[in-house]
């Protein structure tokens, strides 16, 4: 099946310059529901001041010596109505932030997934699947938490900081001193808190990624671990990663435990009450005003206490957003060339002085030059590490040459439109990947609109219909992840069926019959011969039967072409080929 980049823009434009801009651009797309949340937060806080004021009025009335029932009634009605409305505002706040958070998580997940599918194979070959999974699941979830409970609590509580200012100003200007000083020191403390918390939250997300990465490797390679009796060693290594994650979380908890605004709150409450009582003693304010003022100061407790977790959650979310952006903003090594050349491939392939290095410096392929005519079958042989797979990976632009050029039908691969090029090239590898879907869906993976008749014909050509008919539900049988419920030979035949269905113009077989028995090989051999008819075929193989009938044989040695020609020619002229042929006989 062909390996192709996917280049589809996300459904709306986002700003990826930094984590804050990126998250904000998502939030602005959902501005209407976000506005509902903001209005709810502001209304909730404003209405919280009414009980504080009314408590003071009621106290004044009680201690006046001639209490008036009308004042009690008015205060009760005001408090009751205001708190009912406040409850509605709180609902709008929670509902708005939660819906915003869920929508943004959905959009971020879609954007990140779209970005991953658009990355080159060079990118994916260098990435840890476990770490990518940690980013795609846990880090995206942390972005959700920026809004709920993060911003929900921050914006929902920050207005409470200003209620004592309004209440104090309405009673006596001197009472502004405590809330103003508290707000100044509060924000200074928050800035300091976030500054020392930011690297720690980055470490928390990073250590979780490493933990998840190792876990994924162990699960994927469980057979190797058990075969080598390395369970204890892997458990010890997992404990090291788990301990690092635990230590990072403890470090975060230690910073949160020393949250300075909690101390500021206690000082503000004590100083504010003392100040109000002094003003009362001087006859400047009433005792009821002292109660109203102190009640308003108590509202500072909500933003102070919620700040510990909400700001930590925002910091974790921003750290997660940075990790997502580091993947999304990473360069794609291959140009999609959307305006490039697009045509039906005839199958002529030319390598002209091609050199290649995975790391851009140490050459894996050296100055390769050869020509393959349309419809020819080319066998590529050589010792392990000689560069066979690297060579064929250049044909479909999985990688680009470091120097020189590869041409198909006389057009440099870099001038082709990438998806047009790759849609006409299929690669069948030794380790065939199958999905946890039905047999029919796996065959039709490259052509999802294929009819059942087309799928059956492709399976028959690939010599796969025999074993498929014996499966419990035939073509509707669901096979396990990576095809673990069927044999290696059966997986190879399903891969060939995929190739028949997509009808590629160039077919690449990367040592695809190396791990099967002779009977299965004969069946696959027939399918390969049929598949190679009318199309240019490259076969990486050590099988004599496949080498003999190739139109052209390329002998690779240490990243160079050691010899090239037909079987008879190479048997006469190439010692390297004779050695390989002799080893294959054995």
3-class state of residue 421 by DSSP: helix
pTM (predicted TM-score): 0.72
Place of tokens 């099946």: 1
Whether 515 shows a pLDDT value over 60: the answer reads no
The domains of the chain, with CATH numbers, are 19-328 (1.20.1560.10), 349-585 (3.40.50.300)
pLDDT confidence of residue 521: 60
Mean pLDDT of the chain: 84
Q: ω before 149 within 30° of 0 (cis)?
A: yes
Q: What is the mean pLDDT of residues 2-8?
A: 44
CB 306 within 8 A of CB 190: no
Q: How many CA atoms lie within 13 A of 156 on its CB side?
A: 29
Kindly indicate the confidence band of residue 5, based on its pLDDT and cuts at 50, 70 and 90.
Answer: very low
Average pLDDT over residues 388-394: 89
pLDDT of amino acid 397? 85
Q: pLDDT at residue 456 above 80?
A: yes
User: Residues 506-510: what's their mean pLDDT?
Assistant: 86
C-alpha torsion sign, points 72, 73, 74, 76: positive
Task: Tell me: pLDDT of 348 over 70.
Answer: yes
The CB-side HSE value for 138 (13 A sphere, CA atoms) comes to: 18
H or E stretch at 352: strand 349-356
16-59 pLDDT per residue, tens: 889 999 999 999 999 999 999 999 988 888 888 888 778 777 87
Flag the least confident range among 56-65, 452-461, 472-481.
Answer: 56-65
Q: How far apart are CA 156 and CA 575, in angstroms?
A: 80
Confidence of residue 524 (pLDDT cuts 50, 70, 90): low
Q: Closest Cα partner for 15 from 24, 6, 4?
A: 24
416-440 confidence digits (pLDDT tens): 988 888 888 888 877 777 888 888 8
- Furthest CA-CA distance within the chain: 124
Query: Is the Cβ–Cβ distance between 475 and 437 less than 8 Å?
Result: no
Mean pLDDT of 209-236: 80
- Taking only the tens place, the pLDDT of each residue in 399-417 is 889 899 999 999 999 899 8
Comparison of pLDDT for 178 and 116, the residue scoring more: 178
- The residue written with tokens 């230690």 in the block is 254
Mean pLDDT, rounded, for 481-487: 62
Q: Indicate if the pLDDT at residue 307 is higher than 60.
A: yes
- Helices (H) and strands (E) counted in the chain, each on its own, are 25, 10
The answer for residues whose C-beta is within 8 angstroms of residue 316's C-beta and 6 or more apart is: 142, 145, 201, 204, 205
Average pLDDT over residues 62-67: 71
Range with lowest mean pLDDT among 75-89, 147-161, 298-312, 567-581: 567-581
CB atoms within 10 A of CB 369: 12
Q: Which of 55-64, 169-178, 379-388 has the largest mean confidence?
A: 169-178
Q: Specify the pLDDT at position 522.
A: 63
Residue 478's pLDDT is 85
Q: Which residue has the tokens 């065959």?
A: 443
- With a CB cutoff of 8 Å and minimum separation 6, the contacts of 120 are 5, 332, 333, 334, 398
Backbone φ and ψ of 180, nearest 5°: -65, -45
The conformation of residue 354, written as its DSSP 8-state character, comes to E
Q: What is the rounded CA–CA span in Å between residue 473 and residue 482?
A: 19
Per-residue burial over 208-234, b if 16 or more Cβ lie within 10 Å, else e, is bbbbbbbbbbbeeeeeebeeeeeeeeb
The pLDDT value recorded for residue 2 is 39
Count of other CB atoms within 10 angstroms of residue 374 = 15
Q: What is the pLDDT of residues 164-204, one digit of tens each?
A: 998 889 899 999 999 999 999 999 999 999 999 999 998 99
Instruction: Give the model confidence (pLDDT) of 538-565 as tens digits.
Output: 988 877 767 777 889 999 888 999 999 8
């Amino acid at each position: 099946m062909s390996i192709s980049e996917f280049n589809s823009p996300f459904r709306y434009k986002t700003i990826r310059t930094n984590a804050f801009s990126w998250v904000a651009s998502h939030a602005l797309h959902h501005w209407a529901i976000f506005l509902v949340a903001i209005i709810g937060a502001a209304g909730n806080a404003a209405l919280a001041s009414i009980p504080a004021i009314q408590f003071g009025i009621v106290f004044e009335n009680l201690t006046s010596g001639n209490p008036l029932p009308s004042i009690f009634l008015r205060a009760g009605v005001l408090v009751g109505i205001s708190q009912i409305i406040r409850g509605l505002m709180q609902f709008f706040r929670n509902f708005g932030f939660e819906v915003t958070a869920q929508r943004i998580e959905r959009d971020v997940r879609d954007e990140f997934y779209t970005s991953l599918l658009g990355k080159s194979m060079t990118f994916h070959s260098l990435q840890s699947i476990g770490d990518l999974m940690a980013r795609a699941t846990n880090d995206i979830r942390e972005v959700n938490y920026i809004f709920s409970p993060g911003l929900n609590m921050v914006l929902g509580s920050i207005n409470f900081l200003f209620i004592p200012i309004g209440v104090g100003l309405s009673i006596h200007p001197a009472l502004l001193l405590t809330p103003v000083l508290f707000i100044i020191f509060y924000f200074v403390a928050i800035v300091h808190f976030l500054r020392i918390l930011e690297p720690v939250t980055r470490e928390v997300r990073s250590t979780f990624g490493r933990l998840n990465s190792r876990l994924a490797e162990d699960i994927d390679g469980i057979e190797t671990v058990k075969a080598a009796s390395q369970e204890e060693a892997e458990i010890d290594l997992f404990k090291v990663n788990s301990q690092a994650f635990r230590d990072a979380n403890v470090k975060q908890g230690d910073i949160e435990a020393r949250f300075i605004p909690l101390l500021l709150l206690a000082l503000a409450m004590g100083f504010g009450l003392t100040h109000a009582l002094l003003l009362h003693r001087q006859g400047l304010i009433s005792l009821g005003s002292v109660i109203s003022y102190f009640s308003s100061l108590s509202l500072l407790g909500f933003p102070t206490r919620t700040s510990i977790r909400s700001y930590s959650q925002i910091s974790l979310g921003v750290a997660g957003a940075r990790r997502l952006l580091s993947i999304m903003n990473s360069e794609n090594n291959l140009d999609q060339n959307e305006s490039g050349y697009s045509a039906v491939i005839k199958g002529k392939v030319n390598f002209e002085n091609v050199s290649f290095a995975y790391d851009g410096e140490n050459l894996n392929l050296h100055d390769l030059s050869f020509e393959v005519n349309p419809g020819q079958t080319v066998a590529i042989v050589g010792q392990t590490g000689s560069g066979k797979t690297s060579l064929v990976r250049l044909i479909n632009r999985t990688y680009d040459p470091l120097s020189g050029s590869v041409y198909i039908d006389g057009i440099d691969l870099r001038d082709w439109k990438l998806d047009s090029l790759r849609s006409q090239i299929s690669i069948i590898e030794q380790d065939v990947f199958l999905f946890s879907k039905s047999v029919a869906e796996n065959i039709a993976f490259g052509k999802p609109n294929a009819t059942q008749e087309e799928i059956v014909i492709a399976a028959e050509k690939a010599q796969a219909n025999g074993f498929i008919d014996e499966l419990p539900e035939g073509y509707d049988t669901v096979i396990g992840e990576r095809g673990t419920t069927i044999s290696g030979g059966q997986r190879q035949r399903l891969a060939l069926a995929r190739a028949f269905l997509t009808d590629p113009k160039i077919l690449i077989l990367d040592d695809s019959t190396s791990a099967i028995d002779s009977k299965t090989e004969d069946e696959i051999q027939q399918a390969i011969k049929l598949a190679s008819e009318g199309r240019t075929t490259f076969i990486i193989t050590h099988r004599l039967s496949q080498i003999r009938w190739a139109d052209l044989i390329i002998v690779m040695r240490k990243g160079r072409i050691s010899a090239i020609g037909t079987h008879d020619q190479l048997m006469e002229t190439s010692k390297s080929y004779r050695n390989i042929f002799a080893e294959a006989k054995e």
